[in-house]
Amino acid sequence: MTDANHTPPAETRPRGHACVQACLNALGNSPGVYRMLDAAGRVLYVGKARNLRKRVASYAKPSGHSVRIARMISQTADMMFLTTRTETEALLLEQNLIKQLKPRYNVLLRDDKSFPNILVTGDHPFPRIRKHRGARTEKGDYYGPFASAGAVNRTLSQLQKVFLLRNCSDAMFESRTRPCLLYQIKRCSGPCVGRISERDYAALIADAERFLSGRSTRVQEELARQMQAASEAMAFERAAALRDRIRALTQVQSTQGVNPRGVAEADVIALHTEAEQACVQVFFIRANQNWGNHDFYPRTGAGAGADEVLQAFIGQFYADRIPPRLLLLSHPIEDADLMTAALSDKAGRKVRIAVPLRGEKAELVAGAARNARESLARRMAESATQARLLKGLAAAFGLDQPPQRIEVYDNSHIQGVHAVGAMIVAGPEGFIKSQYRRFNIRGEALTPGDDVGMMKEVLGRRFRRLLKEDPERRGEGWPDLLLIDGGAGQVRAVAGVMAELGVGDVPMTGVAKGVDRDHGKEVFHRLGQRPFALGRNDPVLYFIQRLRDEAHRFAIGGHRARRAKAAGATPLDDVPGIGATRKRALLSHFGSAKAVSRADLADLKAADGISDGLAESIYDFFHEKG
């Protein structure tokens, strides 16, 4: 990959078609990626080409462009180019740059969440079954993805009834001396206290993995055979237990909705567009089972066509995910062969892309398309309501125009201990959870419980970082309105911090609960103006309450997590070379961290998993501290 950008400074170059024409002289016929920039240097568009010169030449023509492309060309003041070895490499680079730079005229996948899996652990004689999200770094077998945590939790709950597998941690497993409640309610086979042999438990694991792999018929047949045998032997209690497990297994399958017989593994991806908005529905089919669906609302780049939207979505969606063997699409994409090659390289096996026209596959796509259409209709109705609320908020707070980015701040602590500041973000499409931030408040000079000082620290850290990342204030990260939990004191303090940083022009309002600290009696404070209130039935007041309550919820969650972490901390956390496993072994052997600190060297060496060298390090650590 080589950089082929040798264009003169933007202020000396022509704009629009003339700018594009001037860039052609430096281009060859190799594949690569191009960027179109405006006069301020902001990236307007990122594209890829099999032949850079040929693709860029198409933009130099004065006619024949869509309204969107014509507008983009008219704003172009400079271009940058990066050549690649192959067009597939250009495609991958293009999608990475789009996700990184978020150009205005590109289709952008904004909700880039990870999806949960079911993990059957592989590092224990009695494997555990549990939910897993994130990188697949633990040993074991993974099944997924599932569309939501709720879908995983429902499936796990039913699988516990069917296969009686444990979900407790290894530490809990080792410490049990009698069966837990799950054993009592027939959700676990009790391996922790020897109520089942390792061999019989392995058989349950094998059945569970057969079910998760789509071979549930064999599992049901075996359970039915065992139930019949138990009934004939007049072991009616065992027969009843097996009957309950069969019912639970049937319930798992019924809650999954449509389970296609002819599609073992696929992602069903359907697009619906309307009024320059788009919804993409993705259904996850694994092991002939429907493991849920999720909707996405990509930014369409001011009116891109269905083929471009779907192709951009697929490229960005699988940028950090392994694709399944089959993608079933509602619309054809422009570079299907190229996308197939890119996804196959990523997966390390053949990946197919199809647009089915008949049969079961077409029915799956039609169902996903219907969901996309209905989801987009709901989204557009919610957006219209949100637009009215933002307009009302602008009128109430004297803003020039409806805010596009609102940041709401709150603190949570108990008498100043484990204090956490929280920032939540909202805009025309509701809460923007990917932009939420928490701040562990660490000001040593703060008086415990000093809410004003905490708010100053949080806002100072937030805007110092923002100024460092975007000193010209060009990006989308700058807020149009700050809402602060507090009254006149907080507003004056924060205004002072903002003025010191040179960003005192950002509108700011303090939200105080009023004399009775009751919903509906909020008082709003703005610097240099008299406090005021809104009518109790004003929709804008309800909107502000929702924003403040969301910030409060997010702050409390951070505080509780920090408090829980501190509660579980021990002096062993500071010993070099002691991780979670060795910490667990030491606590199990000695009973407490204090006992570890008082142990002599010989006793430390006798603990499981502790080498002689590590025992000496632990001994030296505590005795040097003392």
Q: What is the pLDDT of residues 118-132, one digit of tens each?
A: 999 988 999 999 999
The rounded distance, in Å, linking the Cα atoms of 146 and 130 is 13
DSSP SS3 for 116: coil
Using an 8 Å Cβ cutoff, are 243 and 161 in contact?
no
The rounded distance, in Å, linking the Cα atoms of 538 and 545 is 11
DSSP code string of 166-178? --S-HHHHHH-SS
Q: What is the pLDDT of residue 567?
A: 59
Q: What is the pLDDT of residue 449?
A: 65
Mean pLDDT of all residues in 340-355: 94
| pLDDT tens digits, one per residue of 372-428 | 999 999 888 888 889 999 999 999 999 999 999 999 999 887 655 678 889 999 998
Share of the chain above pLDDT 90, in %: 40
Strand order through the sheet with 2-3: 2-3, 78-83, 32-37, 43-49
Return the structure tokens found at 284.
């996850």
Domains 406-565 and 571-625 share a fold: no
Angle between helices 336-347 and 87-101 (to 10 degrees): 80
In this prediction the pTM is 0.71
Residue 471 burial (10 A CB sphere; 0-12, 13-18, 19+): exposed
Beta bridge partners of 48: 33
CATH of 406-565 among 3.30.300.160, 1.10.1580.10, 3.40.50.2300, 3.30.420.340: 3.30.420.340
Domain 2-101 in this protein, CATH class = alpha beta
What's the CATH fold of domain 265-377?
Answer: Nucleotidyltransferase; domain 5 (3.30.420)
Q: What rounded mean pLDDT belongs to the chain?
A: 85
Using an 8 Å Cβ cutoff, are 325 and 108 in contact?
no
Reference 82, options 42, 38, 31, 45; nearest CA is 31
What's the CATH fold of domain 571-625?
Answer: DNA polymerase; domain 1 (1.10.150)
How confident is residue 359, by pLDDT bands cut at 50, 70 and 90? very high
Cα 214 to Cα 21, 38, 60, 66, 324, distances in angstroms? 57, 53, 54, 47, 15
| pLDDT tens digits, one per residue of 310-336 | 999 999 999 888 999 999 999 999 889
Reference 19, options 65, 70, 58, 76; nearest CA is 76
pLDDT > 80? residue 515: no
When mean pLDDT is compared across 149-158, 214-223, 588-597, 598-607, the lowest value belongs to 214-223
Mean pLDDT of all residues in 267-286: 92
Q: What is the pLDDT of residue 621?
A: 80
Amino acid at 531: P
What is the number of other CB atoms lying within 10 angstroms of the CB of residue 567? Answer: 8
- 153 vs 281: which has the higher pLDDT: 281
Angle at 389 between CA 271 and CA 294, to 5 degrees: 25
Q: Enumerate the domain spans of the chain.
A: 2-101, 117-255, 265-377, 406-565, 571-625
pLDDT > 80? residue 562: no
- Continuous H helices in 256-358: 306-317, 336-347
Using an 8 Å Cβ cutoff, are 114 and 131 in contact?
no
pLDDT > 50? residue 242: yes
The rounded distance, in Å, linking the Cα atoms of 187 and 157 is 8
When mean pLDDT is compared across 113-122, 210-219, 297-306, the lowest value belongs to 210-219
Q: What is the pLDDT of residue 623?
A: 75
The rounded distance, in Å, linking the Cα atoms of 392 and 386 is 10
Mean pLDDT of all residues in 151-179: 85
Within 13 Å and on the Cβ side, how many CA atoms surround 37?
A: 19
Radius of gyration of the chain measured on its C-alpha atoms: 30
Q: Which helix (H) or strand (E) holds 438?
A: strand 437-440
DSSP 86: S
